Amino acid sequence: MLLDKIREVGGLSVYCHPYWRCFAGRSHYNATPLLNELVFKSNRFEALELGNCETYRTALMNARYCELCHDGFQKPLIGASDYHGHFEDEFLPSVYTVVLAPECSQEAVCQAIRQEYCAAVAGTVDVMSFGPFRLLKYIIFLLKYFFPRHDRLCQQQGELLLRALQGEENLELEIQRLKQEITACQKALKYSPEGR
């Protein structure tokens, strides 16, 4: 079975957008109600995609998730863009997952998600986050105070690196300063799952 193969190769099986409607929401649901119920009852997937841009889809998934939780269902929540083509950059960061993993490797990220050290996030200005309550308080803090500063520093460093690649000289000190500031910023917020 596909889910067994995903686990075998070290992947993470995610049940994605069960309430997605074909043709930009103008047609039938991609998965029938019966298929959704069978997948939920089988409980073989490892995470559930909760957010995915469109309001009706997120509202339906939230409502169904509440019902499932009432019946004892518990899975890590994932936010994913699921883009299948080229979109303007401003839309790309609108749905994503914040994962608190000890390192940036496939194994560590998958393990952190399995242990629910993650949250689904939707939106760019008015951000909506979904996940375990205590963890979500920390992630909301990161979204408000850490990521904007970190991303701004990375953007500045990237712009300087591009200028250096185009031949501009005497940028090394500023690039190095930004690298040190980014590293200090990252070290200040190291998350330890054991300290949860």
What pLDDT score was predicted for residue 95? 82
Q: Which of 67, 20, 22 is nearest to 40 (CA)?
A: 67
Q: Tell me which residue range forms the domain holding 178.
A: 145-196
pLDDT tens digits for range 135-180: 999 999 999 999 999 999 999 999 999 999 999 999 999 999 999 9
**Which strands, in side-by-side order, build the sheet including 95-99?**
95-99, 118-122, 128-130
Same domain, 184 and 127: no
Query: Residue 196: pLDDT above 50?
Result: no
Query: Residue 63: pLDDT above 60?
Result: yes
Sign of CA dihedral 123, 128, 131, 137: positive
Same domain, 80 and 18: yes
Same domain, 183 and 114: no
Same domain, 119 and 190: no
